[in-house]
A and B are shown apart, each in its own frame.
Chain A
């Protein structure tokens, strides 16, 4: 790394402090910047809208509390959208903490949907270790991998799982993914091997690596990327939540980073000039 860049630059602790302030303040004093939807978010919305009523879908909660601020609002808006459209939700988790994340959302929503019954309209199958191998095995025999739900109720006693032996009778798979195992594995197995529609939501930082799967082969049907994706989905489903609120903070933080980048460049050029003068 060039010595010029390393020297005479702002102490990074100043950057940390300013960034902290720029995130904290908009969370307290809401600005209300406008939000626009992107094609990827609209594709996700379209997938749920086009799924026939009564269809059964898998939502895989493959994240943990660390990525909750980005993925939780997506999960909530998505589950709400599914309930509104009478789509039955089967929850799985490839991350141990994913089970808790799904339960968190369901307990938030169930009071607003008194007609939705556990076991008929929603079920949480719990966590399964093994990542891609588990997905592969689910595609071959779902009932073998999940003989019971997270409460220990046998799969045969859960009406929502009637006829679910593999991925064949599912409307789509939606992966809320913070890493590995996650959306990539769902694409590779559920879509590429078993031909089921797959969509998902990922953290902002991993989005560039996942976006290539949104292609003509529809390996992924749309993608919700980071807090912005969550806010867009909240906007599309007309359920503003924590993501919409967080967008102000994100916008200001980005602005601060841009200002720092500009300052870094000014410093660099100033140092370069000084170096030249020194040589002369």
Chain B
């Protein structure tokens, strides 16, 4: 029974959503709209579950003095700090329970929440994303090795696209006469991105789409149950 009810719900909801794609008449269009609203509500409430888990796991590690337990104090402190100043003095357009915190705002220029958002959070995010540039460099260095004919082709294509996607490409081949413009690096790069790359990407997307259809059907029909923790 514990397993059968979720399977039945999955089947019914799946079928209704598929039908509503083709039948705009009431009640199908309406039901799928209502189900979408339910999803939004559940997703909203589920956030609480996540926060509780964050607290529970971190508190456990601190209480039992697990390895690096100091880091977990920092996590919880940052969380509590952001939430409390948001509740106390609000954000840019919304007052908090203690009003707008004019005294603090006058000293630091903006509300404390916005101050931390602009000066700490934004920069931390940008830093993490920037790491990608460094990792791309080291991964490219390792990956683009001309071992075989295929990898040599990949290497040449990568260099052409890299050059073509920068101002350097325009500068290097900008002097080419009109009759040889097809050799202009930005054009070569655009061609590679537009045709061979797109063809490959589409093939993967189409394959994945069939995978999604197959998986969805398995789930709707109850053949695939491992997401419920079953076999």
Residues of A contacting B73 in the complex (Cβ-Cβ under 8 angstroms): none
> How many A-B contacts are there with CB distance less than 8 Å?
143
CB distance A253 to B171 under 8 Å?
Answer: no
Which residue from chain B places its CB closest to the CB of A135 in the assembled complex? B36
Give the complex CA separation of A209 and B134 in angstroms: 21
> A235-256 vs B: 1/0 string, CB under 8 Å?
0000000000001101111111
Q: Is A113 an interface residue (CB 8 A)?
A: no
The number of chain B residues with a CB under 8 A from chain A is: 52
Q: A66-B126, A66-B129, A257-B162 are in contact. Are A134 and B142 (CB under 8 A)?
A: no
Q: How far is the CB of B202 from chain A (nearest CB, A)?
A: 5
A residues within 8 A CB of B174?
34, 36
A275: Cβ under 8 A from any B Cβ: no
Of all A-B residue pairs in the complex, the 10 with the closest CB atoms, nearest first, are A33-B167, A65-B122, A251-B166, A66-B129, A66-B125, A12-B138, A251-B168, A65-B125, A130-B40, A260-B141
A67: contacting residue among B40, B129, B168, CB under 8 A: B129
Are B162 and A254 touching (Cβ within 8 A)?
Answer: yes
Within 8 A of A (CB), among B192-213: 193-194, 197-198, 201-202, 205
Known: A136-B36, A247-B166. A258 touches B125 (CB 8 A): no
> Is B125 touching A35 in the complex (CB atoms < 8 A)?
no
Please tell me if the beta carbons of A254 and B165 are within 8 angstroms of each other in the complex: yes
Residue A169 CB within 8 A of the other chain: no
Is there an interface contact between B147 and A261, defined as CB atoms closer than 8 Å?
no
Tell me if A154 counts as interface (CB < 8 A to partner B).
Answer: no
Interchain nearest-CB distance for A133 vs B (Å): 5
Main secondary structure on A side of the interface with B = helix
Q: Is A39 an interface residue (CB 8 A)?
A: yes
Q: Is the CB of B92 within 8 A of A140?
A: no
Given A16-B137, A212-B198, verify A34-B132 contact (CB < 8 Å). no
| Nearest A residue (CB) for B158 | A261
The chain A residues found within 8 Å of chain B, CB to CB, are 1-2, 5, 9-10, 12, 15-16, 19-20, 23, 33-36, 38-39, 64-69, 100, 103, 129-130, 133-134, 136-137, 140-141, 150-151, 204-205, 207-209, 211-212, 226, 228, 247-248, 250-258, 260-261, 263-265, 268
Quick check: A211 and B194 within 8 Å, CB to CB?
Answer: yes
- Inter-chain contact B126/A69, CB cutoff 8 Å: yes
Name A258's contact: one of B122, B145, B146, B159 (CB within 8 Å). B159
